[in-house]
């Protein structure tokens, strides 16, 4: 099995500068990464209560699409219940057209008071789960390019036809969620990929990742789903610039590959490199440390 490798970064703080992010995406492609994935936050409150710069991921990804030719691009993840699904349908198709069919859409129900309660969005997670399921059905319906109607509890559409269609036959949908909450993992089984997150780290996280993959695989078998399916693992590896680092990267990535991972996403966060978690965008040292890891390239550990 060939594993693909992407970088995975927030759209705030040290990456809250759109020019910096777009330039980094081009460098990531040149360094051999396979994907460039951006968080989708609307507002972010720092630990000290201050405000950090936040950029819109969809406008940033449009610029990324124009500066790259090969890497897959997308959000991990877009909280769909705070988006109008028909607006997101237009955005994803336009980005897929612009990029030549390279978009992957990550989705979830979202979290954080600053983006929900404080902005007047739906605060109840179980309601957001209902909205997410309805919105996903709407996305696929509108992407089809044929007249589409939908009557749900939260959304209603009457005979809408959206053209053009995406370049891809289907824009892949990765569903995110925290294990061991079962509802998002049952949802993952119905779509094109799983983007599991965990509170634990180290060997405990490796074990939980394997459990989560097995759970979703069993759900897919019960649903009779046998097509291609992405299994995404987020983690951190040292740059493969020394034999010791290369071996350490193997040690970190191989358990995920053995458990079924098809994508490894390298987490780019300031605290991973010894900086404050909420370093602002104008901190050059934090950014350069993260950029250096991108330039070193992916670990390339295959099964």
Q: Are 64 and 104 in contact (CB under 8 A)?
A: no
The tens place of each residue's pLDDT in the chain, 303 residues long, gives: 689 999 999 999 899 999 999 999 999 999 999 999 999 988 777 666 677 889 999 999 999 999 999 999 999 999 999 999 999 999 999 999 999 999 999 999 987 777 767 777 778 889 999 999 999 999 999 999 999 999 999 999 999 999 999 999 999 999 999 999 999 999 999 999 999 999 877 779 999 999 999 999 999 999 999 999 999 999 999 988 888 998 999 999 999 999 999 999 999 998 888 887 766 666 788 999 999 999 999 998 865
The answer, as to whether pTM is greater than 0.75, is yes
List residues bridging with 231 in a β-sheet.
194
Supply the Cα-derived Rg of the chain in whole angstroms: 19
Q: Which domains does the chain have, with CATH numbers?
A: 4-296 (3.20.20.30)
State the DSSP H helix or E strand holding residue 37, giving kind and residue range, or none if neither: strand 35-38
List residues bridging with 263 in a β-sheet.
4, 232
**What is the DSSP annotation of 68-105?**
-SSSEEEEEEEEGGGS-HHHHHHHHHHHHHHHTS-EEE
Q: Are 32 and 4 in contact (CB under 8 A)?
A: no
Computed from CA positions of residues 191, 194, 195, 200, in that sequence, does the dihedral angle turn out positive or negative? positive
């Amino acid at each position: 099995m060939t594993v693909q490798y992407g970088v995975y970064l927030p759209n705030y703080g040290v990456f809250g500068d759109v020019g910096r992010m777009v330039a980094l995406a081009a460098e990531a492609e040149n360094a051999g990464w396979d994907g460039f994935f951006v968080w989708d936050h609307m507002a972010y409150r720092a630990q000290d209560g201050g405000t950090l710069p936040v950029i819109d991921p969809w406008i940033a990804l449009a610029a990324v699409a124009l500066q790259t030719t090969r890497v897959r691009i997308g959000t991990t993840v877009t909280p769909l219940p705070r988006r109008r699904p028909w607006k997101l349908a237009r955005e994803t198709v336009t980005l897929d057209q612009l990029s030549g069919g390279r978009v992957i859409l990550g989705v979830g129900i979202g979290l954080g008071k600053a983006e929900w309660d404080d902005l007047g969005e739906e605060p109840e997670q179980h309601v957001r789960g209902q909205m997410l399921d309805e919105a996903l059905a709407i996305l696929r319906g509108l992407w089809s390019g044929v007249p589409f109607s939908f009557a749900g509890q939260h959304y209603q559409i009457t005979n809408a036809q959206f053209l053009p269609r995406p370049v891809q036959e289907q824009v892949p949908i990765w569903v995110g969620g925290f294990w061991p909450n079962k509802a998002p993992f049952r949802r993952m089984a119905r779509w094109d990929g799983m983007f599991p997150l965990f509170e634990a780290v180290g060997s405990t996280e490796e074990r939980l990742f394997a459990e989560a993959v097995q759970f979703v695989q069993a759900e897919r078998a019960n649903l009779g789903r046998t097509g291609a399916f992405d299994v995404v693992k987020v983690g951190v590896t040292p740059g493969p610039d020394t034999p010791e680092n290369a071996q350490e990267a193997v040690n970190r990535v191989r358990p995920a590959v053995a458990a079924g991972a098809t994508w490894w996403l390298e987490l780019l966060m300031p605290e991973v490199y010894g900086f404050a978690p909420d370093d602002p965008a104008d901190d050059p040292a934090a950014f350069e440390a993260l950029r250096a890891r991108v330039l070193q390239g992916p670990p390339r550990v295959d099964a």
